[in-house]
Structure 1
């Protein structure tokens, strides 16, 4: 029984050291307003370990926190700048959906969807730091993969003929490839580490509160 207990404790330690965390942002844009409850012409959300931490939509026009630790830890300027960024991305999506509709000779009276998903995944090291493991930067159009970034080779991947013109154009912009790679491997990981730590602080304070209530 003693050896079993030691094995379990060691196993738990190994799992803790290999803990994975992820930060993902998802932007979804419709080519025109959708008259359905809960659907907006444009939405953007941030996910930490698949839990929503911030949100923006075209109707409310404001980036807002969705977790207590985000509201408490991030300053007002963060939300103001985030709102401005989301508003500019909303315009970017609107312009590019129009470009794709024309390129594919589609009927602009139909509803079309452009989505962008990007983020990073890190693994906790024995020293507690997060190490980059994987990055994602991909676009889909009308539910089909349209374009993705190959981080290992710093090139854009076009799975369809319709996305080839975009691939060629973006591959020629070296600064875009460098920025995308740098964001995934460095900036995204910095934010991921910061948000994970913020979450741990809140969890720890809640544990202390529960312990206090239990004791007294």
Structure 2
């Protein structure tokens, strides 16, 4: 592939300065095929821990987290207790919400995302704790005013009750301003080689059909702080392009794509277009030229397959015609049996019509 690595200054790598610790908790009602409760801990968008109501325990998901637990066994015990405790609280909360909203059946989901962001350069810490119900924002904590914010009327009763729980509010303040960032710093220290690495992706040009947009697809990069865009004559394009989201891969890396509509590109101008991948902290840009010979497609394979199918159908039709003809011939023979042979000269004439 005609991919160029443009060295802007040098190949040095700068580690990200912002880190995050997030907990995702989900309780479900009316979903027999999934666990009633699921919890996950995520550091810098990498899952490091997991628990659910089926396995009934907390599990580390990264080798460096296992090393941390080995050095501090109480760490896993704390997670196990939080997982068990939250499961009971969430079950009570979702049952209470269903009763208050007159929901007696159906699938209902209660979610919480809480945690903190920490800037290791400025020291700034931002904590957050917010709930969602059935896919919509329900209630969130404002740490500056130490009050709960209810964007929906259905959450006002919860807000008034939680606002009155002063001890819980003070616990939240201490946790999100002090304990959460302390744990995050510990995670960053133990996982430094993994979390602060940089992986460059492989970049490909893809196209489904001759009339489809050309997708510039980058996969295998880390961290997720990246950008991918099309340029023309060195200028970034904002029209006739479609940006996809950054998505996780199973191995902990990420992928993304950006599409270019070819209807806006004249054939003689292809050489003026390229796709650029930028990864935060890496002074290397990956530039991929728009080149017909480098586009990976699937319509050529489809065309061959179509031709083979047509040939197979033609052969099948011919076989069927031959079979039908043979059956007609057999039936005709059965209806018109040959007359008995006469003298030897007549038999000779039938056997040797040319004589």
Conserved in 1, the CA contact under 8 Å of 2:53 and 2:87? yes
Shift of 1:202: 6.4
Shift of 1:22: 0.2
1:180 paired with 2:175, answer: no
Match of 2:23 in 1: 25
Shift of 1:203: 7.4
Conserved in 2, the CA contact under 8 Å of 1:132 and 1:189? no
Match of 1:63 in 2: 58
Match of 1:98 in 2: 95
Please state whether the residue corresponding to 2:124 is helix, strand or coil: strand
Q: Which structure is richer in relative contact order (CA contacts within 8 A, separation 6 or more)?
A: 1
Q: Distance in 1 between matches of 2:195 and 2:132?
A: 36
1:112 paired with 2:108, answer: yes
Q: Distance in 1 between matches of 2:50 and 2:165?
A: 30
Q: Distance in 2 between matches of 1:156 and 1:24?
A: 19
Please state whether the residue corresponding to 2:144 is helix, strand or coil: coil
Shift of 1:84: 2.1
2:79 to 79, 82, 105: 82
Give 1 or 2: higher strand fraction: 2
Match of 1:189 in 2: 181
How many residue pairs match? The answer is 188
Greater CA drift, 47-56 or 148-157: 148-157
Conserved in 2, the CA contact under 8 Å of 1:45 and 1:55? yes
1:138 paired with 2:138, answer: no
> For residues 120-135 of structure 1, what are the structure 2 equivalents within 5 Å?
120-125=116-121, 131-135=123-127
Q: Distance in 2 between matches of 1:77 and 1:187?
A: 15
Distance 1:77 1:103, change over 3 A: same
Shift of 1:71: 0.7
Shift of 1:201: 5.6
Where do 4+ consecutive residues of structure 1 move more than 3 Å? 201-204
TM-score (norm 2): 0.49
Give 1 or 2: higher helix fraction: 1
TM-score (norm 1): 0.79
Match of 1:214 in 2: none
Match of 1:73 in 2: 68
Please state whether the residue corresponding to 2:191 is helix, strand or coil: helix
Please state whether the residue corresponding to 2:158 is helix, strand or coil: helix
Q: Distance in 2 between matches of 1:134 and 1:182?
A: 12
Report Cα offsets for 1:85-115 as digits up to 9, x if no partner. Answer: 21111011111111101111112x2121111
Q: Distance in 2 between matches of 1:47 and 1:80?
A: 18
Shift of 1:164: 0.3
Which has the larger Rg? 2
Distance 1:136 1:161, change over 3 A: same
Match of 1:211 in 2: none
Q: Distance in 1 between matches of 2:127 and 2:76?
A: 24
Question: Runs of 5+ in structure 1 lacking a partner?
Answer: 205-216
